[in-house]
Chain A
Amino acid sequence: MQRRDFLLGLAAFIALLPSKVLAALWNKAAFESVLLNDASRHLDINAEIPSADIQIIAPDRAENGAIVQVEVKSNIVNTEAIAIFVEKNPTPLIANFMFSNGAEPYVVTRIKMAETSDIKIVVKVGGRYFTNAKNVVVLENGCG
């Protein structure tokens, strides 16, 4: 093999690398699940314990389902991850946030809601899962 061909091949391989690494990291099965239970199962969520120590701030009524701001704070010690689900969305898993090195278990983000539904939060603490939910009435669908 010519040195140049080898280098071109190597460059191509490196160019391809990030998407492959990403595909391995991103939980495709969970994000493409159309049922909330399937999405939870693909995240290895088991035996959810209801907890009022998970604070969810979201509007009671959303005029526009395309942008619903949600704030989530976990007061449970050693929270590792916060997953956000919208039960009645075409794909219920919205996001999964994993915290480390001093990041607080706190996020504010904006999500799409297809229709009136619960926003369900699942918090991971060690091998245990805690949950809470907040209902949001959606006046105009946001999942074009």
Chain B
Amino acid sequence: MDNMKMRAQLKGDFVEVKVLMSHPMETGRRKDDFDRLVPAHFVQLLTATLNGKAVLEAQWGTGVSKNPYLTFRLKGAKVGDIVAVTWYDNHGATATQDIAVTSA
């Protein structure tokens, strides 16, 4: 679950960050082939930082799609700055990844 894919590109006056995470995002309402409920397993919190400074905090429920996708934009960021994203799920698992801003 550590294969988070990230891209951060300078586009004019903002940096666009795209993140693709690998996570089942189980709602707790789905049944498996044996008609047993699959327990809820989902990302609850995602945080992003720019050069260590908090820029985004997202709280999620079970309604975010499997293998979550996210785009966000940062003003005042420049090429070489470091964007880091961390998620935490309801099982206590966490993953973090960072990337340097590149020019488009």
Residue of B nearest to A81 (CB): B57
Q: In the complex, what distance in Å separates the CA atom of A102 from the CA atom of B72?
A: 11
| Cross-interface CB contact of A96 among B59, B73, B92, cutoff 8 Å | B59
Q: A96-B59, A101-B54, A103-B56 given as contacts; is B74 within 8 A of A112 (CB)?
A: no
Q: A22-B44, A94-B64 given as contacts; is B69 within 8 A of A108 (CB)?
A: yes
| Cross-interface CB contact of A107 among B53, B66, B72, cutoff 8 Å | B72
- Which one of A4-12, A25-33, A44-52, A122-130 contacts B? A25-33
CB-defined contacts of A104 to chain B, threshold 8 Å: 14, 72-75
B: number of interface residues (CB 8 Å)? 36
User: B64, A110: Cβ atoms under 8 Å?
Assistant: yes
Q: List 16 A-B contacts (CB under 8 A).
A: A18-B92, A25-B45, A26-B45, A67-B65, A95-B60, A96-B59, A97-B72, A100-B57, A102-B74, A104-B72, A104-B75, A110-B64, A110-B68, A110-B69, A142-B65, A144-B31
Q: Which 6 A-B pairs have the closest CB atoms?
A: A108-B71, A94-B63, A144-B30, A31-B61, A110-B65, A103-B55
**Known contacts A31-B44, A103-B72, A112-B27, then 8 further A-B pairs from the complex at CB < 8 Å, ordered by chain A residue:** A31-B61, A32-B61, A90-B29, A95-B63, A97-B57, A107-B71, A109-B69, A110-B65
